[in-house]
Amino acid sequence: MSKEETVEVYSIAQRKVLLNNGIELAYYDSHPHDGGAEDGITKVIVLLHGYCGSSAYWEQIVEELEQSVRIIAPDARGHGRSSAPEEEVYTMEKYAEDVAELLIKLQIHNAVLLGHSLGGYITLAFVEKYAKKLSGFGLIHSTALPDGEAAKDNRDKAVAALEENGVQSFVDGLIPKLFAAVNLEAMQSEVNRGKQIGYGTSLNGAIATAKGMKVRPDRKFVIEQSELPVLLAAGTHDKVIPLESVFAATNDWVTKVELDSSGHMGMVEQPRALITAILNFVNQR
């Protein structure tokens, strides 16, 4: 039995739905019965996690957010408790279709979609095709830019490393790079938690997702031409997707937020600042 089959999966998803494409998608729903309407909670935020993560990436900010909004946080295909189809490439478009069908099954017709890193790439693919389902969207430590040649080479190296050494070795090297250097020592437990979450990624899912990120197109136009409000949140110490890449596309509807002393994991490194940014954004809608 492989390590990927025996590792404990860390996720906050407590529900599952079978999509028409055969994928069993796990997701967290803070108000699963009627959206919490009886409590006056009518707004919905959908949170999409990053690469080799799960819905557990949001665990430090969900409790406060769900006091005033309904939170939907899926485990992306190949990650967390969701199934991992045996496909060679998980394109951002396929991921977006998964999210669209989840919202249909939950009868959610108006939401704010926020994506971290990989989740941001998925968000842009979703907005391009399903913008009418949203009242706003945002990128958290993500970018509308496509991979450059160096980044594409790194995707190939990631695939090779995964094929040779498996998920755990890859995640052990990946997660510390997501945190700001100034935070690594003080946040060692959070780094270890990130690794534990990452170990739950399926090998095929990690490989297919890396290939999908490599081929994603330039989607600056999705932001530049959007009539929806847009939130762009960037870490001032993010070495994975720096400020200039997060803010590469803009328009009059964009709200830009800089998370001080944060690397690529603002929901862990600066949860209070990110909660404030999200609530301010949503409450202005």
Ordered mean pLDDT values, 10 residues apiece, the chain (285 residues): 64 98 97 65 96 98 97 98 97 98 97 98 98 98 98 98 98 98 97 98 98 98 97 98 98 96 98 98 87
Stretch (H or E) spanning 124: helix 118-130
**In this structure, which amino acid lies at residue 92?**
M
* Predicted TM-score of the model (pTM): 0.96
Fold of 3-283: Rossmann fold (3.40.50)
Give yes or no for a contact between 208 and 87, defined as CB atoms under 8 angstroms apart: yes
Domain regions of the chain by residue span: 3-283
pLDDT value, residue 38: 52
pLDDT value, residue 163: 98
Task: Pull the structure tokens for residue 55.
Answer: 């819905």
pLDDT value, residue 2: 41
pLDDT value, residue 34: 52
CA 140 from centre of chain: 8
Neighbours of 257 (CB within 10 A): 19
**Pick from 33, 38, 34, 43: nearest CA to 68:** 43
pLDDT value, residue 37: 54
pLDDT value, residue 1: 31
